[in-house]
Every structure is written in C-alpha cells, then in structure tokens.
Amino acid sequence: MRKENSGRKKIMNRTPIIYLEKIMPDQPPEDDEGNREYKLKIIPQDECEWEQRCIKLATQLKYRLGEGCGKALYLLGVRDKGQAVGIDKLSLLITITMIEEAVQHIEETTINNIRLYRGTNGHIATMRLSNPRLAEVW
C-alpha cells in the first residue's frame, strides 16, 4: 500500500477482479467454524485503526485457512446472517484492500481470485485464498 503525501493510504487492490453479471443469492448464516467468512464492509477511520484492523484480520484469516485445510472463502458485502445485500464500489474496494494487506502478514498466503457479483443494494465480492503450509498443519 502506497502512502500519498497527505499521509493517508492510497486505495488500490493488487488482485485482478473478475466481473460477473450474476446476482449473489442469500447465503446460509455464517458459522464460527469452517473456512467461510462474511464481511459486510471494513472501513477504518484512520491510519492507526487501519493497522490494528489488518492484524486482527490476519489472525482471523489464518484461522479460516486452517479450518479449510489451507483454503478460505471471504464474502464481502454479505451480512453475518447471510443476506447478500452488497455495498458501494468504494467501500468494496477499501474492504478488498484491507484483506489484501492482511494476507501480507501470513507467509505463503495467496489470493487466488476475486469475483464481483450484484447484491440487492450494491456490489458483492468473493475472495478465494489459499496457503499450502496451513493445509498441512490442521
């Protein structure tokens, strides 16, 4: 993540996004166990919160990767109860960027793909992540 002169983070995702002309259906409620994680959106208020949130996300991501034998699926724009509501494009891009930064804290973790769908009130993204090292640990 590059910083602009103002000291604020520049938002730009690193992983190509595949745009699909599909509507994401509602999902089952999020389970505390397993490799699926729902995030409506992640919008930190300042630089300090950004860094703290990245560390917390990295811990959560490592747990989800472990639960999925090295594979995790993040659904962005989806509520914990599974409603596929969607969010605006800027909020989605910030949320994707946050997760991309969190991935950098976990050695050998990669984002395999990002797919963009339509929700009832905006955009939804899925992020498929993997880490071969965590497949062996759990």
pLDDT in tens, 52-89: 999 999 999 999 999 999 999 999 999 999 999 999 99
- Residue 21 has a pLDDT of 86
Domain assignment present for 6: no
pLDDT of residue 137: 58
User: Does residue 9 fall inside a structural domain?
Assistant: no
CA distance 50 to 54: 6
| Encoded amino acid at 16, one letter | P
Closest CA to 84 of 115, 42, 34, 118: 118
pLDDT at 16: 84
Domain membership of residue 46 as a residue range: 23-137
Helix (H) or strand (E) holding 65: helix 47-67
Burial of 28 (0-12, 13-18, 19+ CB in 10 A): exposed
The reported pLDDT for the residue numbered 2 is: 36
Q: Low-confidence residues of the chain, pLDDT below 50?
A: 1-8
In a domain? residue 62: yes
Asked if residue 112 is part of any domain, the answer here is yes
Q: What share of the chain is helix, strand, coil (3-state, %, to 5)?
A: 30, 25, 45
Structural domain total, the chain: 1
pLDDT the model gives residue 5:
35
The verdict on residue 4 lying in a domain is no
Could you tell me if residue 10 is inside a domain?
Answer: no
